[in-house]
């Protein structure tokens, strides 16, 4: 679905992404994981053209991610970031429907889509008329997810969507997210630094370090067949929580 070929990105003297190639398969949840500064957020921003690569090319379903295609592409790629990135001057409903109204959807179609999405993400419908500042962190992320899904995109990109939430809320949202991903069968790319979350949500895990792919595969591949000491170290650092949940 998404393909990065020999893509590199440099900020000043910092090589954020070394030339790398990566394929994101259709209908699967791919998790980009790694320590801070490994390039995972840069990579996800390359996929929807928020950042342009210095070298190489990014394609989405065969279309080159380039300035002339960006508007159309982005409407097929939902995007959720940490803290939601909701527009503070609009109600939750207006945040969700802004793009649909912009592209000319009619009232009834918008209303039924919003109701459908509110049910999907488990958001009280009376929350929809509140402003972001009146919502809790978890509710904001649910609204943000509705906004990303409004036009029923093919691809969903999530950059640390649960990063700013407290553990209880985070855990509820994790299970909701897994159910949503499983029911929608969309191509999902999720960035996290939490191996627990990656294992719980991801079909395919890509471990990154300093702008390079160290290893990719299932969680079992990473746990049982680490390719180098860094992978083992990264896994062991978070294993205590992992073992209880994934191995049961």
Please say which residue, 72 or 168, places its beta carbon nearer to another protein. 72
Q: Min. distance of Cβ 195 from another protein in angstroms? A: 25
Q: Min. distance of Cβ 32 from another protein in angstroms? A: 16
Q: Which of residues 136-175 bind another protein (CB under 8 A)?
A: 147
Contact 96, 149 (CB under 8 A): no
Q: Largest alpha-carbon pair distance within the chain?
A: 56
Please say which residue, 16 or 219, places its beta carbon nearer to another protein. 16
**Residue 5 class from Cβ within 10 Å (0-12 exposed, 13-18 middle, 19+ buried)?**
middle
Question: Which residues lie below 8 Å from residue 64, measured CB to CB, with a gap of 6+?
Answer: 57, 58
Binding mask 42-81 for another protein (x = CB under 8 A): ------x-x-------------------xxxxxx-x-x-x
Nearest residue to 46 (alpha-carbon basis) of 148, 157, 153, 154:
157
Instruction: Decide if residue 102 touches another protein (CB under 8 A).
Output: yes
Contact 232, 195 (CB under 8 A): no
Q: Min. distance of Cβ 127 from another protein in angstroms? A: 12
Nearest residue to 128 (alpha-carbon basis) of 94, 92, 98, 95:
92
Question: Among 32-40, 88-96, 176-184, 226-234, which window interacts with another protein (CB under 8 A)?
Answer: 88-96
Token reading at 106:
């009619």
From CA 25, how far away is CA 23, in angstroms rounded? Answer: 6
Instruction: Decide if residue 82 touches another protein (CB under 8 A).
Output: yes
Please say which residue, 29 or 95, places its beta carbon nearer to another protein. 95
> What's the alpha-carbon Rg for the chain, to the nearest Å?
18
Among 90, 110, 227, 246, binds another protein (CB under 8 A): 90
Q: Min. distance of Cβ 109 from another protein in angstroms? A: 18
| List of residues contacting another protein (CB under 8 A) | 48, 50, 70-75, 77, 79, 81-91, 98-99, 102, 131-134, 147
């Amino acid at each position: 679905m998404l393909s990065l070929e020999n893509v590199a990105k440099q900020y000043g003297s910092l090589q954020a992404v070394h030339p790398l190639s990566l394929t994101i398969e259709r209908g699967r949840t791919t998790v980009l994981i790694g320590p801070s500064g490994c390039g995972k957020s840069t990579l996800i921003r390359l996929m929807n053209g928020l950042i342009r690569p210095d070298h190489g090319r990014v394609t989405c379903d065969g279309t080159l991610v380039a300035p002339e295609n960006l508007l159309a592409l982005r409407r097929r790629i939902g995007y959720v970031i940490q803290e939601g990135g909701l527009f503070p001057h609009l109600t939750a409903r207006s945040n969700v429907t802004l793009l649909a109204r912009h592209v000319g959807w009619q009232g009834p179609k918008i209303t039924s889509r919003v109701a459908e999405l509110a049910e999907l993400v488990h958001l009280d419908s009376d929350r929809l008329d509140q402003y972001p500042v009146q919502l809790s962190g978890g509710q904001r992320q649910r609204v943000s997810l509705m906004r990303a899904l409004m036009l029923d995109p093919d691809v969903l990109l999530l950059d640390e969507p649960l990063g700013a939430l407290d553990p209880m809320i985070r855990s509820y949202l994790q299970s909701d997210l897994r159910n949503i991903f499983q029911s929608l069968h969309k191509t999902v790319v999720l960035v996290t630094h939490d191996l627990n979350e990656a294992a719980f949500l991801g079909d395919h895990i890509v471990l990154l370090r300093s702008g390079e792919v160290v290893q990719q595969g299932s969680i079992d591949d990473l746990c049982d067949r680490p390719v180098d000491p860094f992978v083992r170290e990264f896994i062991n650092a978070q294993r205590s929580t992992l073992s209880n949940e994934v191995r049961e």
